[in-house]
């Protein structure tokens, strides 16, 4: 069966520090991968998606970047965190056709102080 893992689950970082959130998927090949941010009052905002290794599409301009170094690995990064980067980050995957259900990870809560 397919599973998706995210880590760390919680993170408290000072302003200006770097960030790396990691997501891996097991039990499937060549999935489409996504990073969403869940913020109060703003719902779920799509940040990045990837349809293959090294292929990243950004949905909103921001202080963050994403990378997909391996087929089932998706990383969310920042060189210098801002206060506004605080939030709950969700990784998700879907089968290659893009149809069907989107499966979410458990999320990573980032607090920038």
Partner 1 sequence: AQRVTQPEKLLSVFKGAPVELKCNYSYSGSPELFWYVQYSRQRLQLLLRHISRESIKGFTADLNKGETSFHLKKPFAQEEDSAMYYCALRQGSSNTGKLIFGQGTTLQVKP
What residues between 43 and 72 interact with partner 1 by CB under 8 A?
43-46, 49, 51, 57, 59
By beta-carbon proximity to partner 1, the closer residue of 60 and 113 is 60
The CA-based angle 77-82-87, given to 5 degrees, is 70
With respect to partner 1, which residue has the nearer C-beta, 36 or 74? 36
CA distance linking residue 30 with residue 70, whole number of Å: 10
DSSP for 25-40 reads: EES-SS-EEEEEEEET
Of the candidate residues 22, 62, 94, 109, the single one contacting partner 1 (CB under 8 A): 94
Is there binding between residue 42 and partner 1 (CB under 8 A)?
yes
Q: By CB under 8 A, name the one of 14, 41, 54, 69 that touches partner 1.
A: 41
Is there a cis peptide before residue 8, judged by omega within 30 degrees of 0? Answer: yes
In the complex, the smallest distance separating the C-beta of residue 8 from partner 1, rounded to whole angstroms, is 16
- When binding is defined by CB under 8 A, the residue of 76, 89, 107, 110 that contacts partner 1 is 107
Cα atoms found within 13 Å of the Cα of residue 62, Cβ hemisphere only:
22
How many Cβ atoms from other residues are within 10 Å of residue 84's Cβ?
Answer: 11
Q: How far is the CB of 53 from partner 1 (least distance, A)?
A: 16
């Amino acid at each position: 069966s397919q599973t998706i893992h995210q880590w760390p689950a919680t993170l408290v970082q000072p302003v200006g520090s770097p960030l790396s959130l990691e997501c891996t998927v097991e039990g499937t090949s060549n999935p489409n991968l996504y990073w969403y941010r869940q913020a109060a009052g703003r719902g779920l905002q799509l940040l990045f998606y990837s349809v293959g290794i090294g292929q990243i599409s950004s949905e909103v301009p921001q202080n963050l970047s994403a990378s997909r170094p391996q087929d089932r690995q998706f990383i969310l990064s920042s060189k210098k965190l801002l206060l506004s980067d605080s939030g709950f980050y969700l990784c998700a995957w879907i089968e290659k056709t893009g149809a069907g259900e989107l499966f979410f990870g458990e999320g990573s809560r980032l607090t920038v102080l």
